[in-house]
Structure 1
Amino acid sequence: MTTTKDPGSSIFFRLTIDGLDLGLFNSCDGLAAHVETEEWQEGGNNGHVWKLPTRVRHTPVRLSRPLTPETARVTAWVSSVATGITRPTAQIVALRADGSQVAQWGLLDVLPLSWTGPTLDPASPTVATEVLEIAHHGFTDARAA
Structure 2
Amino acid sequence: MVSTEEAVAVCFVVKLDDQNLGAFSSCDGLGCEFVMEQREEGGNNGMVWQLPTRLKYSNVKLSRPVTKDSAKITQWFASMAGGIKRKTATIEARTLEGTVIASWSLEGAVPVRWSGPQLSAESPKVAMETLELAHHGFLSPGK
- Which range, TM-score by smaller chain? 0.7 to 0.9
**Whole-Å separation in 2 of the counterparts to 1:127 and 1:143:** 37
TM-score (norm 2): 0.86
Kindly tell me: are residues 90 and 143 of structure 1, through their superposed partners in 2, closer, same or farther at Cα, counting changes over 3 Å? farther
Number of residues of Structure 1 aligned to a counterpart in Structure 2: 143
CA distance in 2, matches of 1:105, 1:89: 10
Cα gap change, 1:110 to 1:2, in 2 (>3 Å): closer
The match for 1:132 is 131
Matched residues, percent identical?
A: 45
Q: State the shift of 1:143 in Å.
A: 4.1
Q: Contact conserved, 2:9 with 2:26, CA < 8 A, in 1?
A: no
SS in 2 for 1:76: helix
Contact 2:7 2:102 in 1 (8 A): no
Q: Partner amino acid for 1:25?
A: F
Shift of 1:84: 0.5
Deviations 1:96-135 (A, max 9, x none): 1111111110101111111011122222210011000110
Q: Which has the higher strand share?
A: 2
1:91 is aligned to 90
Question: Following the alignment from structure 1 to structure 2, what is the Cα–Cα distance between the partners of residues 115 and 15?
Answer: 15
**1:1-145 maps to which residues of 2 (within 5 A)?**
2-5=2-5, 7-39=6-38, 51-144=50-143
Unaligned 5+ runs, structure 2: none
Please give the alpha-carbon distance, in whole angstroms, between the structure 2 residues aligned to 1:70 and 1:143.
27
Q: Which moved more, 1:28-37 or 1:46-55?
A: 46-55
Is the partner of 2:80 in helix, strand or coil?
Answer: helix
